């Protein structure tokens, strides 16, 4: 995870705080809402990259736009993978706790 991805995740988490219906009593967004936002962002970035690639193949786009879109989609995917790994790690830690 690089600093740019961390800054994006922080900005997204801060921006999601005003969402109604997905916020807890303290005003912070629920964990499930944050995960949903991250997954939605990753899907949107992937579709944008696919659109740029299609336009370039048709001769309507530039290679720089494709590289930028693919890099953005890759960063979003890496963020989702990092979150998934942390959730799995936390679950495993909870399962190791004595009752």
Q: Which residue has 């991805």 as its token pair?
A: 5
94 vs 91: CA distance, rounded Å: 5
Per DSSP, the three-state class of 94 is helix
Query: Is 19 or 35 the better-scoring residue by pLDDT?
Result: 35
pLDDT band at 33 (very low <50, low <70, confident <90, very high): confident
56 in a domain, yes or no? Answer: yes
pTM exceeds 0.85, yes or no: no
60 in a domain, yes or no? Answer: yes
Query: Is 96 or 14 the better-scoring residue by pLDDT?
Result: 96
Residue 20 has pLDDT above 60, yes or no: no
57 in a domain, yes or no? Answer: yes
22 in a domain, yes or no? Answer: no
46 in a domain, yes or no? Answer: yes
Per DSSP, the three-state class of 23 is strand
23 vs 33: CA distance, rounded Å: 8
Structural domain count of the chain = 1
Residue 42 has pLDDT above 50, yes or no: yes
Whole-number average pLDDT of the chain: 79
Question: Which residues face 23 on adjacent strands?
Answer: 29
Q: What is the pLDDT of residue 3?
A: 59
Q: What is the pLDDT of residue 39?
A: 84
Q: Phi, psi at residue 23, to the nearest 5°? A: -105, 150
6 in a domain, yes or no? Answer: no
């Amino acid at each position: 995870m690089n600093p740019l991805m961390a800054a994006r995740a922080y900005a997204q988490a801060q921006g999601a705080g005003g969402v109604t219906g997905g916020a807890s009593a303290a005003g912070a967004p629920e964990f499930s809402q944050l995960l949903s936002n991250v997954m939605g962002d990753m899907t949107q970035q992937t579709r944008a990259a696919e659109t740029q690639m299609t336009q370039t193949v048709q001769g309507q786009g530039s290679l720089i736009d494709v590289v930028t879109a693919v890099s953005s989609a890759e960063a979003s995917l890496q963020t989702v993978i990092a979150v998934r790994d942390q959730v799995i790690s936390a679950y495993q830690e909870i399962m190791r706790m004595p009752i």
